[in-house]
């Protein structure tokens, strides 16, 4: 089974010489929910534009559902639903009329099932009641939902969703998460670009992290989380003794803060550390290994700074 998205050496250099995406090798397994992470300005949207053939790579290749892009657009894109950099519709048309316009533009869509498919898509995103309202009267959340509805107009093999929960309230975010899960259960691959780590952690099976246009991590969500080192944390009244014991065992970066002693957990198994501490007479109140959240892993990979990447 070929991967849903494969890129090799994908690079985009803009006319000013600025490199937006550099030498990107992505493999998005079929049926996965793939989180595409990165701070603002890291090249996520530029990558997506190249995936769907809106922008031409400076060098490198894209394979979308087995078709070389952009040459294979006509074969691949009908099987792809996309939400790219926010929704965009005709403000003077109703939500329903906007979907009909897109469906009429699709030469491969069956006009006989159009009404039914438009209804289903509107219903899936909870917009059925507002179908006849003009798009310009829609709130940001409703617009986002309509954008998702257009991605769901047909049975898709791949959904490319760029920040799909942008502007949604907490209920809306939950609904979208449920929607992504249900689409994935139907067998579609979901490529989800986001900077909301909780979102990715909850729905994604795989993730890649982009920083300054370069891939800094790539794999299953679990492997990303464990790749960042865990910490051995000991609570005790005998902190001074514990520090000595751990250092003797070879634990690195041992620090002591109040009654808590911690160090990198990778070299010494916790059961060995525990036995040694007890043997040294340390009154251990608790001992455990803390795994970082995806957020901590993300910050460790992309840097702490608040500034937009150049």
Partner 1 sequence: MSPSNRTGLLRSELRTLFRRLRTLMMLAVLAGVPILLAWAVKAFSGPSGPGEGPPFLYQVSSNGLFVALTALIVTLPLFLPLAVGVVAGDSVSGEANQGTLRYLLVVPTGRGRLLAVKLASVIVFGAVAAFTVALVGMAIGALLFPLGPVTLLSGDTIGSGAAFGRALLVAGYVGVSMAGLGALGVFVSTITDVPIAAMATTVTLAIASQIVDAIPQLHALHPWLFSHYWLAFGDLLRQPMYTADVNRGLLMQAGYVVVFGALAWARFTSRDILS
Interface with partner 1 (CB under 8 A): 49, 52-56, 73-74, 77-78, 80, 82, 84-93, 97, 100-102, 104-112, 150
CB of 68 to partner 1, least distance (A): 15
Give 82 or 242: the residue with its C-beta nearer to partner 1. Answer: 82
**Cα–Cα distance for residue pair 56/58, rounded to 1 Å:** 6
Query: Strand ranges (DSSP E) for the chain?
Result: 5-13, 19-28, 33-37, 59-64, 67-69, 80-83, 158-162, 189-194, 206-211, 214-220, 231-236, 255-257, 260-264, 284-290
Shortest distance, position 72 Cβ to partner 1, whole Å:
10
Between 86 and 288, CB nearer to partner 1: 86
CB of 76 to partner 1, least distance (A): 8
- Cβ(240)–Cβ(247) below 8 Å: no
Nearest residue (CB) to partner 1, 105 versus 308: 105
Residue with Cβ nearer partner 1 (100 or 184): 100
- Quick one: 159 or 224, whose CB is closer to partner 1? 159
Nearest distance from residue 20's CB to partner 1, in Å? 10
Tell me how far, at minimum, the Cβ of 265 lies from partner 1, in Å.
46
Radius of gyration of the chain (CA): 24
Cα gap 187→30, rounded to integer Å: 8
Tokens at residue 70, please?
């952009």
Strand-strand pairing, 80-83 and 158-162: parallel
């Amino acid at each position: 089974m070929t991967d849903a998205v494969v890129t090799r050496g994908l690079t985009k250099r803009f006319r000013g010489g600025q490199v937006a995406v550099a030498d990107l090798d992505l493999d998005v397994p079929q049926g996965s929910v793939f989180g595409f992470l990165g701070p603002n300005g890291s090249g996520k949207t530029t990558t997506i534009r190249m995936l769907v053939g809106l922008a031409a790579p400076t060098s490198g290749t894209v394979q979308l559902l087995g078709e070389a892009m952009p040459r294979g657009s006509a074969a691949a894109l009908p099987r792809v639903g996309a939400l790219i950099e926010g929704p965009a519709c005709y403000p003077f048309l109703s939500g329903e009329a906007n979907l009909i316009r897109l469906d009429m533009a699709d030469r491969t869509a069956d006009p006989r099932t159009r009404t039914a498919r438009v209804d289903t898509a509107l219903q899936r995103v909870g917009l059925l009641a507002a179908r006849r309202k003009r798009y310009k009267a829609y709130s940001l959340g409703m617009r986002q939902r309509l954008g998702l509805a257009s991605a769901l107009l047909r049975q898709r093999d791949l959904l490319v969703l760029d920040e799909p929960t942008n502007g949604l309230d907490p209920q809306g975010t939950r609904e979208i998460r449920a929607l992504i899960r249900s689409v994935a259960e139907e067998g579609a691959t979901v490529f989800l670009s986001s900077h909301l780590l909780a979102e990715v952690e909850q729905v994604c099976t795989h993730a890649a992290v982009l920083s300054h246009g370069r891939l800094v991590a790539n794999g299953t969500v679990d492997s990303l989380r464990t790749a960042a080192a865990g910490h051995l944390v000991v609570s005790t009244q005998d902190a001074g003794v514990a520090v000595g014991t751990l250092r003797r065992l070879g634990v690195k970066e041992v620090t002591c803060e109040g009654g808590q002693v911690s160090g990198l957990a990778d070299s010494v198994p916790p059961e060995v550390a525990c036995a040694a501490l007890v043997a040294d007479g340390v009154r251990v109140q608790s001992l455990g290994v803390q795994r970082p959240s995806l957020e901590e892993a993300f910050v460790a990979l992309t840097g702490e700074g608040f500034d937009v990447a150049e």
